[in-house]
Amino acid sequence: MSSVLVFPVAASPLPLLHAPVAVPAGFPSPAQDWYDGPIDLTAELVKDQAATFVVRVAGHSMEGAGISDGDELLVDRSLTPKDGDVVVAVLDGELTVKRLATGPGGVVLRSANPAYPDIPVPEAADLLIWGVATFCIHHLRARGSSHQMHESATSKGPRRAD
């Protein structure tokens, strides 16, 4: 099973700058040089702050769902899990991140990577759905500070890579 680390969501707002237009991922369009004010990610992404946690994923079993090793999930414990939800489950005392499948055959915790088997949950098993994942923060840049890579490139000390 995958392991997860759990962190509470901070109570203070996290204002970030917000562009007023959607940026096309296909054909490029002229850049908009507008500023639309800050956006509070907590207000936008968290519906129940007291019940929402950040969970860091360890493992590769959910890559087909766009969840990679090291990503953080926003997990809302106040939501009722439904068939098809990505959930943090506690099965026989072990945490795992899987897609919940419910049906006439019972409960299955589905992997999103063919290299990892689905987990059919026997009726006698101790299963708790700890929370429902609502968002995934997927890292696009290698971890670590960018200026560390350039410290040895100049004798004048570190410089920013941006």
Catalytic machinery residues: 61, 98
Residue reference for tokens 């995934």:
136
**DSSP3 helix / strand / coil % (the chain, rounded to 5):** 10, 35, 50
Residue reference for tokens 């004048």:
156
Q: Are strands 119-121 and 127-137 parallel, antiparallel or unpaired?
A: unpaired
How many Å from the N-terminal Cα to the C-terminal Cα in the chain? 38
Task: Tell me 158's DSSP state.
Answer: -
What strands, in cross-sheet order, belong to the sheet with 119-121?
Answer: 3-8, 52-58, 72-76, 127-137, 86-91, 94-103, 106-110, 119-121
